[in-house]
Amino acid sequence: MKSDNLSRWVHDHVFDQSNPLAERSTRLVMWITAAMMVVEIAAGWWFNSMALLADGWHMSSHAVAIGLSAFAYAAARRYAQDTRFAFGTWKIEVLGGFASAIFLLGVAALMVFGSAERLLSPQAIHYREAIAIAVLGLLVNLVCALILGKAHKHTHGHAHEHHGHGHHAHGKAPHQDLNLKSAYIHVIADAATSVLAIAALAGGWLFGWAWLDPATGLLGAVLVAVWAKGLIVDTSRVLLDREMDHPVVEEIRSVAEASGAPGTLTRVTDLHVWRVGKNVYACALSVVTEDAALTPAHIRASLGQHEEVVHATIEIHRYPGAMAHTG
């Protein structure tokens, strides 16, 4: 019974990094985005604007993707105390961010297809009405960006506060909430495409440049694809445990090799480090040493100065002549 309570305590205090404010903000933005999506798609079809219609479909996929982010938060919270997740449920949120990025790439492809079709077959556009809807869409996106920006600032500030309690800092900002970042990027991408749509519709209305409408759709697709690529890189790095270039790796190596007694040689021969939360890591290392008295507990105690290292599996091997260095 005590063992079960201890396991639950570890999950609650080390690996449970739920973010209630980000979850609430993301859910609210999802509903706002879905409502505006319906308005823009209907208006784009009615007023015959490719830029407005592309923005609406763009927003529809964002509503789904932001919904995935909200679902990821809920799932991470629901299973936070489930000990079957060896290092907690944080990566559910990262997986949500990755899925959102894939959605963004799909949106970019659809925008390219629709815009190219409209370039080849121009159609009359009701510019005045379409511009009014595009401006409304931009305002909605800005409101959503403020909501998520406030949640991001709160989360980032809390991470800095937590990171500052450690005995050592890397000189880098703490890792971001990649799930919240994905939702924020979706909203910013929507705002950017709304601005492009307004500019294209205004140019067509004032100067008769009908080609601006589909051309803007193509430009918006490029911007969305670039943002998606960046988000895929960030989230896949976590999902694939590509962390061995992080400064904490060399710090762990240095601490382990300095743990032996003076005058003895200690070397790390195998080291694996991976992230198990926004700002915390686990590691597994093998050490070869001349110090016959060195134990995993000694190395673990030395690693204690780095509170971002929350779990360490340590294996020690002795040099053949290690016993000669005792006494």
Nearest to 156 by CA among 182, 183, 178, 185: 178
| Statement to judge: residues 51 and 182 lie in one domain | yes
Tell me the pLDDT band of 216, cut-offs 50, 70 and 90. confident
Whether residue 232 is found in the same domain as residue 252: no
Q: 3-state class of 327 per DSSP?
A: coil
Do 251 and 108 reside in the same domain of the chain? no
Question: Which range marks the domain in which residue 320 is found?
Answer: 247-325
Residues 162 and 204 in one domain: yes
Percent of the chain predicted with pLDDT > 90: 14
Instruction: Please check whether residues 14 and 44 belong to one and the same domain.
Output: yes
Task: Specify whether 184 is located in the same domain as 306.
Answer: no
Judge if 81 and 180 occupy the same domain. yes
Whether residue 265 sits in one domain with residue 198:
no
Q: Are residues 228 and 273 in the same domain?
A: no
Q: Are residues 173 and 278 in the same domain?
A: no
Which of 208, 239, 270 is where one domain is finished? 239
Both 120 and 267 in a single domain?
no
Residue of 102 and 223 predicted with greater confidence: 102
Q: Average pLDDT, stretch 42-63? A: 71
176: domain CATH number is 1.20.1510.10
Write the pLDDT tens digit of every residue in 106-158: 878 887 887 787 788 777 777 887 788 888 888 888 888 888 877 756 555 54
State pLDDT tens for residues 280-316: 899 999 999 999 899 999 999 999 888 889 889 999 9
Instruction: Specify the amino acid at residue 209.
Output: W
The position carrying tokens 């090799």 is 257
Q: Are residues 224 and 269 in the same domain?
A: no
Cβ atoms of residues 150 and 19 within 8 Å? no
* Predicted TM-score (pTM) of this structure: 0.64
The total of structural domains in the chain comes to: 2
CA-to-CA distance for 188 and 185, rounded, in angstroms?
A: 5
Write the pLDDT tens digit of every residue in 65-84. Answer: 777 777 777 777 787 777 77
